[in-house]
């Protein structure tokens, strides 16, 4: 049993799978000799060799294309995009090859590959390093999109992602890479994909979020409890395919829902969740489903990040408005 941060849990999961399965390989910019820009692959090349932990040129399209080729030949590549904002040169390979290959070949080829990407704001980086564009990937059939919110889930979900026979976009909220530690046993036990986690049970309102925003959401639930409001808190974890059933069951119990996302408000996963509730859970609602989100602008630089990202106060203020409906 080790006490690990989220980034250390990611490292442990990759190390476990490299040792367990000879077909697993890691590749990306600076993942080998330097151990990655966030140290996610630190020490793995030394332990498993340059054929298993591969440094690539600064060429995201090449990384994605190479991963598709490897996966089509039975390997299990785990490719790192150094920042989510750098993925766009690789988007063509991900969208038109990785996501479609099983359908294109009528099941003759699968794509057991993972694209790891540090994403989101909060570290005072330039805008290309701070984006939350998870909805772009969630919109593509054929991809799973998984986002851990704490070290334990990072370990268990990454194990499941690497073992999955289809392509997984694994988004790592870099703001929370090192803000908390969990005791994790390296037992190789994967967490289930495609399912939400209920982090806190409550009766008055359902709060739904994922990734780094779970930390603000849980703090908001603590603050709301001081005012006598019992919030049920759901970590979506896999945003595509979406586990609507768990969310709908919660809303049936509470009658109210607020969805929190860091990404811009328009066209986001929060909108999809609100639509699902409107279509399938309307008769359970006592109030409109509301969203707390980033703004429809590019993530601002440095000091203005805090004004852009949803805060505990913005979440609790929205909940108080929703609770006014009787």
Catalytic positions are 129
Token pair for 295 = 């703004």
Pair of tokens at residue 175 = 């703001």
Residue 117 token pair: 């990407």
Closest CA to 64 of 86, 85, 90, 96: 90
Among candidate residues 237, 287, 282, 236, the one with its CA nearest the CA of residue 257:
287
Residue (of 114, 195, 121, 201) closest to 153 by Cα position: 195
In our burial notation (b when 16+ CB lie closer than 10 A, e otherwise), range 89-114 reads ebeebbbebbbbbbeeeeeeebbbbb
CA 171 to chain centre: 4
Using alpha carbons, list the distances in angstroms from residue 87 to 8, 58, 263.
23, 11, 16
């Amino acid at each position: 049993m080790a006490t690990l941060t989220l980034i250390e849990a990611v490292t442990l999961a990759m190390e476990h799978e490299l040792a367990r399965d000879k077909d697993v390989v890691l590749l990306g910019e600076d993942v080998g000799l330097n151990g990655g820009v966030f140290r996610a692959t630190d020490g793995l090349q030394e332990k498993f060799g340059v054929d298993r932990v591969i440094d690539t040129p600064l060429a995201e399209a090449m990384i994605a294309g190479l991963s598709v080729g490897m996966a089509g030949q039975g390997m299990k590549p785990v490719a790192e995009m150094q920042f989510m904002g750098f993925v766009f040169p690789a988007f063509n390979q991900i969208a038109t090859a990785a996501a479609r290959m099983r359908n294109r070949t009528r099941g003759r080829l699968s794509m057991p590959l993972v694209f790891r990407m540090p994403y989101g704001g909060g570290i005072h980086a330039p805008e290309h390093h701070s984006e939350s564009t998870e909805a772009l990937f969630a919109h593509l059939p054929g991809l799973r999109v998984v986002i851990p919110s704490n070290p334990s889930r990072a370990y268990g979900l990454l194990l499941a992602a690497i073992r999955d026979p289809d392509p997984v976009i694994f988004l790592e909220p870099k703001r929370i890479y090192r803000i908390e530690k969990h005791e994790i046993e390296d037992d190789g036990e994967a967490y289930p994909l495609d399912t939400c986690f209920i982090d806190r049970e409550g009766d008055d309102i359902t709060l739904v979020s994922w990734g780094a925003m779970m930390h603000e959401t849980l703090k908001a639930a603590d603050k709301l409890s001081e005012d006598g409001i019992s919030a049920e808190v759901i970590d979506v974890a896999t945003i595509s395919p979406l586990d609507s059933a768990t969310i709908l069951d919660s809303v049936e119990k509470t009658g109210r829902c607020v969805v929190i996302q860091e990404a811009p408000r328009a066209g986001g996963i929060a909108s999809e969740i609100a639509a699902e509730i409107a279509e399938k859970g309307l008769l359970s609602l006592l109030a409109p489903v509301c969203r707390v989100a980033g703004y429809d602008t590019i993530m601002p630089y440095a000091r203005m990040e805090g004004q852009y990202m949803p805060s505990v106060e913005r979440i609790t203020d929205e909940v108080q408005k929703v609770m006014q409906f009787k």
